[in-house]
Amino acid sequence: MRIIIAGVGDVGYHLAKQLSMEAHDIVAIDTNEERLSHVGSNTDILTIEGSSTSLQVLKDAKIEKTDLLVAVTPSEETNIATAILGKKLGAKKTIARIANSEYLDSSSGVNFKELGIDFMIYPEELAANEVVSLILRTAATDILEFEGGKLSVMGLKLDKDAPVIHKSISEAAREYQNSDFRIVAIYRNFKTIIPAGNDRFLPNDMVFVITTPEGIDMILKLSGKENKKFENLMILGGGKIGRRVAKLLESTMQVKLIESNEDKSFALADMLQSTLVIHGDGRDLDLLAQEGIIDMDAFIALTDDAEANIISCLMAKHLGVTKAIALVDKVDYVPLTHTIGLDSLINVKLIAANNISRFIRKGEVLAIASLEGIDAEVYEYIAQRNSPVTQKPVKELHFPKDAIIGGVIRDNKSFIIVGDSQIRENDKVVVFSLPSGVKKIVKFFEK
């Protein structure tokens, strides 16, 4: 697939890095020479310096032969113009990053597809939805869903008294052989492990599990967790994400939102129906105590100051809050999540890149996604007729040791893979892989 990425800031860079692991023909366009140099030295892609709204630059990038144009510059106007021009010049599919939620409203009266924009990505909306998912799945630190939740990859931290502690993967599999889940990775001591049968669970391991909806309760039990219902939520920061999270959750729980800007506080109070909006500095421990932080089930810090978000979440955890989630602006912060004692770090740009990558259609690849904080990717493939993966039971495939087949969606039903499983043509197969395994697994899904 030929892909043009317009804008190689954090979103574009992460997207280029993800896609360059596959055999895509990628061109990056940016006006900043330094950013282009950085992405060029870390990925195997072609770079062009210039504006993506320049007709000549787009022609130099061979826009007429492009399968996908992704416009993710910091400027919404540039992204929209790039997508429209790119479509007119021959791009088969276009995606534009936007900063205005009005454009997603179907009643706006504007048909953006007619203008030439096939998809619009609103990162703040995606981040808000991710936060809400983590709040509703109270025990999970990471969640990826496939086909509307028919299969889910969940990250869970093992408590020291979890039933599986010190048991091997094989022992746990024999003891819970009727359960609908499979362990696909363990994160321990800053290292991601694709587990083998003799690997043992240790206290404080971050375990990543693929499961059907029926297996979620058992997973929580084995990890020493319970998916209890949260009733009280405190949000720090009333920006786009904080406002949207409050809007989505205020009908199901008691929500308090702290905003430091007085004018914005009044606007939020008018906009939100049931949320209690408080004007104040959320970094003030006395204010947090006064507003009952010790009674909160969850605390979410969503201000523009990443360090303040992290510190306030650490304070919340110290005061006994069950779940703390912080918004950070640097992707490099995300791997620190589990080492500093927080439940989840949210990065808007990483979430946007992951969602954009799900639009990629290269032969058998349906989706690519990253799990925050670990060095691994999750792929959704479609099994082609006569491809190697369909020829033998999974245990006889000699699948790479740095990758693992987790589950299959077949005819709208989900299955967890075991050794005797046979993958069939048109199965949607979820694969978990370390970077070293990415190129090895492709051949199993090619005709």
Q: Tell me, what CATH number does 325's domain have?
A: 3.40.50.720
> How much is the CA Rg of the chain, to the nearest whole Å?
23
Q: Are residues 358 and 249 in the same domain?
A: no
CB 312 within 8 A of CB 327: no
Q: Are residues 307 and 288 in the same domain?
A: yes
239-255 pLDDT, tens per residue? Answer: 999 999 999 999 999 99
Q: Which two tokens stand for residue 259?
A: 């905003």
Q: Are residues 327 and 370 in the same domain?
A: no
For residue 266, the tally of other CB atoms under 10 A from its CB is 13
Its pTM stands at 0.73
Residues with Cβ within 8 Å of residue 305, at least 6 apart in sequence: none
16-40 pLDDT, tens per residue? Answer: 887 877 668 899 999 999 999 999 8
Structural domain of 10: 2-121
Cα–Cα dist 103/100, whole Å: 6
SS3 231: coil
Quick one: pLDDT band at residue 370, thresholds 50, 70, 90? low
Residue-level pLDDT at 365: 58
Residue 26 lies in a domain: yes
| The amino acid at 301 | A
Asked if the model's pLDDT at residue 139 lies above 70, the reply is no
Residue 363 lies in a domain: yes
Residue 31 lies in a domain: yes
Cα–Cα dist 159/164, whole Å: 10
375-399 pLDDT, tens per residue? Answer: 777 888 888 888 999 999 999 999 9
Asked if the model's pLDDT at residue 100 lies above 90, the reply is no
Cα–Cα dist 63/412, whole Å: 36
Q: Are residues 9 and 112 in the same domain?
A: yes
Asked if the model's pLDDT at residue 364 lies above 60, the reply is no
CB 445 within 8 A of CB 383: yes
Residue 204 lies in a domain: no
Residue-level pLDDT at 55: 96
Quick one: pLDDT band at residue 261, thresholds 50, 70, 90? very high
SS (H, E, C) 155-178: EEECCCCCCCCCCEHHHHHHHCCC
Q: Are residues 379 and 267 in the same domain?
A: no
Asked if the model's pLDDT at residue 109 lies above 70, the reply is yes
Give the pLDDT mean for 219-234.
Answer: 81
Residue whose C-alpha is closest to residue 377's, from 387, 385, 369: 369
Residue whose C-alpha is closest to residue 130's, from 294, 340, 343, 283: 343
Q: Are residues 327 and 339 in the same domain?
A: yes
Q: Are residues 338 and 282 in the same domain?
A: yes
Q: Are residues 244 and 311 in the same domain?
A: yes
Q: Which long-range CB contacts under 8 A does 264-267 form with residues at least 24 apart? A: 264/238, 265/238
Residue 417 lies in a domain: yes
Q: Are residues 23 and 103 in the same domain?
A: yes
Last residue of a domain, one of 121, 144, 161: 121
Q: What integer best gives the mean pLDDT of the chain?
A: 87
Residue whose C-alpha is closest to residue 313's, from 291, 328, 329, 335: 328
Residue whose C-alpha is closest to residue 376's, from 310, 431, 296: 431
Last residue of a domain, one of 121, 145, 178: 121
Q: Which two tokens stand for residue 252?
A: 């199901």
Q: Are residues 391 and 403 in the same domain?
A: yes
268-313 pLDDT, tens per residue? Answer: 999 999 999 999 988 788 888 889 999 999 999 999 999 999 999 9
Quick one: pLDDT band at residue 228, thresholds 50, 70, 90? confident
Q: Which two tokens stand for residue 356?
A: 């954009």
Residue 208 lies in a domain: no
Residue 433, domain CATH: 3.30.70.1450
Q: Are residues 320 and 292 in the same domain?
A: yes
SS3 127: helix
Last residue of a domain, one of 53, 87, 121: 121
Residue 393 lies in a domain: yes
Asked if the model's pLDDT at residue 362 lies above 50, the reply is no
Which of residues 7 and 221 earns the better pLDDT score? 7
Domain count, the chain: 3
Residue 182 lies in a domain: no
Q: Which two tokens stand for residue 429?
A: 């197969």
Which of residues 234 and 442 earns the better pLDDT score? 234
SS3 252: coil
61-82 pLDDT, tens per residue? Answer: 999 999 999 999 999 999 999 9
Residue whose C-alpha is closest to residue 151's, from 72, 100, 65, 212: 212
Quick one: pLDDT band at residue 263, thresholds 50, 70, 90? very high
Q: Are residues 342 and 359 in the same domain?
A: no
